[in-house]
Amino acid sequence: MASKSKFQAIRGTRDLLPPETALWNHVEETAHSVFATFGFGEIRPPIFEPTELFARAVGGETDIVSKEMYTFVVGDFDRLIAWREFVSNTNKIRDLDELDIYERSLSYLHRFVQEFVKNGHLPDDDQIRTTLAAVQKTMSFVGAALIEGRRSNGLVNLDELDREVENAAIAAGSIRPGEQISLRPEATASVCRAYIEHNMQQLPQPQKLYYIGPMFRRERPQKGRYRQFYQIGAEVLGGVDAPAIDAEVIEMVMTFFDRLKLPGIHLEINSIGHAADNCRRGYVALLKSELEKVKDKLGADSQRRIETNPLRVLDSKLEHEQSIIEKLPHIADYLCDDCKTHYAAVKRELELRGVFYKENWRLVRGLDYYMRTTFEITAQGLGSQNAVCGGGRYDGLVELLGGPPTKGIGFAIGEDRLILSLQESQGASLATGHRPPFVYIAWMGANAYATAVRAAKDLRAAGIRVELPPTESKFGKALERASKLGAQYALILGDNEVAEGTWTLKTLADGTQQKFTEPHLLDFLKKM
């Protein structure tokens, strides 16, 4: 256990350290190579974007956006926001001192808003003008009360102020500073933004893009759930919505997992139709009325969701709700003909590709632009957080973000969980690709040192890992250290070896020694 130091990584974040990072690299290299064989190119979008992008794409009502984003306000907005918060959170004033502070806050807020309008940071529109007028009115009222109170030694009727204070609070609360940015909670929104920004619809369609990188969500940390976590994801944008595309995207994820030998993989699929009355909307209306009938038996979350997002009730993991949910109507029976045909074709295409799946009618997504294919993949050894990949079709998203109507489908793999699952199942025997031989150079003497430096350079150029100790030490000590570091070989270079031109290579596992000339040594190690 590490000792407690003054600074520690923030809760929900962690350092990835060697040797574990070798496994991360192996996973990422495998993603690069498998995705390349499917014709995908890498995109590296920025880690922060305007908050509004995520509010639109992920949905302002979702937990991710409403509760879990790391959001910043840039520049002097900080102070504006602070005054706004102060004024909009004050609802009662109890004495003259408070009244004094409150009056100052109002006038700061008023001045800041005026300045921001002048600098173009806030719009010069009706809403802002009304806000300014309301704050101004409260300021005058409060100012007068203050004068009155001072004259009469604190005898003001504070109750009378409440209505004015409330008006100012409402006005202050309506100021919406524009320049908010958020650390990305996911990357699909960024990829779609980039697709639009770079006119990628002019390029051959579809565009097949993948990304690897950190995401940020302020969730409650637990095993497999972090506040900074990594996703490996891909999106297919543009072109047609042929079922073969859905199936190929799923096949690609499964091929990647296969290549990594990820154990206990389960793929579940579903179709959620599209947002039309003769399809998903009709089903959701029916679901809602069925849920109303059993409302009393459901928990508070599900009860709320009957109103806000009935589909999400199907996600519930609550034990006592399961038997109720199982009896609800299945979406597959209410899809329109086109969506039914599409779903049947996706399943056929998966079979053609030898991809095993299970249908799960409860696999849903809460947002309107999600449509047809949805899928989720779980892996072994992860406890309750066992989803390693989620994906689906989202044909309306690019348009929602201001681009042309564009077909889209994608997925995101939780890399942290993928790694956890690999570690749990394969432990120390994890194959992390080819490891180069590791040579420790045990040198003694000034002549030997010059040769050691040159030898290190040549061996490294040949791809061999070399540890060249920076200071001289006796051979015995050097060999001890070589073993401790896990070297396979010690190259012994003393003045004798250098004079003779033959070098001694000791295999540390069995203590055997072999003599080599320099070129032969290189040949020998390269074959290892």
Is 387 one of the binding residues for ligand AMP (CB under 6 A)? yes
Residue 437, SS3?
Answer: coil
Angle between helices 415-426 and 20-37 (to 10 degrees): 110
For residue 439 the two structure tokens come to 């040579």
Is 219 one of the binding residues for ligand AMP (CB under 6 A)? yes
Is 390 one of the binding residues for ligand AMP (CB under 6 A)? yes
**DSSP labels, 479-502:** HHHHHHHT-SEEEEE-HHHHHHT-
Is 225 one of the binding residues for ligand AMP (CB under 6 A)? yes
The Cα–Cα gap between 289 and 522 comes to 76
Is 254 one of the binding residues for ligand AMP (CB under 6 A)? no
* Touching ligand AMP, residues 415-444 (CB under 6 A): 416-417
- Minimum distance from CB of 390 to ligand AMP (Å)? 4
* Touching ligand AMP, residues 174-193 (CB under 6 A): 186
Nearest to ligand AMP of 253, 339 (CB atom): 253
Decide: 179 and 75 in contact? Cβ < 8 Å.
Answer: yes
Is 410 one of the binding residues for ligand AMP (CB under 6 A)? no
Nearest to ligand AMP of 213, 414 (CB atom): 414
Nearest CA to 367 out of 340, 343, 400 is that of 400
- Minimum distance from CB of 128 to ligand AMP (Å)? 36
Binding residue for ligand AMP, selected from 109, 234, 250, 389, defined by CB under 6 A: 389
Nearest to ligand AMP of 177, 410 (CB atom): 410
Beta bridge partners of 61: none
Per rule CB under 6 A, count of chain residues that contact ligand AMP: 16
Select the residue whose beta carbon is closest to ligand AMP and give its number: 414
Decide: 92 and 148 in contact? Cβ < 8 Å.
Answer: no
Beta bridge partners of 210: 42, 234
Nearest to ligand AMP of 349, 416 (CB atom): 416
CB atoms closer than 10 angstroms to residue 157: 9
Pairing, β 489-493 against β 438-443: parallel
- Minimum distance from CB of 241 to ligand AMP (Å)? 20
Binding residue for ligand AMP, selected from 226, 256, 443, 449, defined by CB under 6 A: 226
Beta bridge partners of 414: 231
Q: Which amino acid is at 382?
A: L
Is 14 one of the binding residues for ligand AMP (CB under 6 A)? no
Is 213 one of the binding residues for ligand AMP (CB under 6 A)? no
What's the chain's length in residues? 528
Q: For binding to ligand AMP (CB under 6 A), which residues are involved?
A: 186, 217, 219, 224-226, 229, 231, 387-390, 412, 414, 416-417
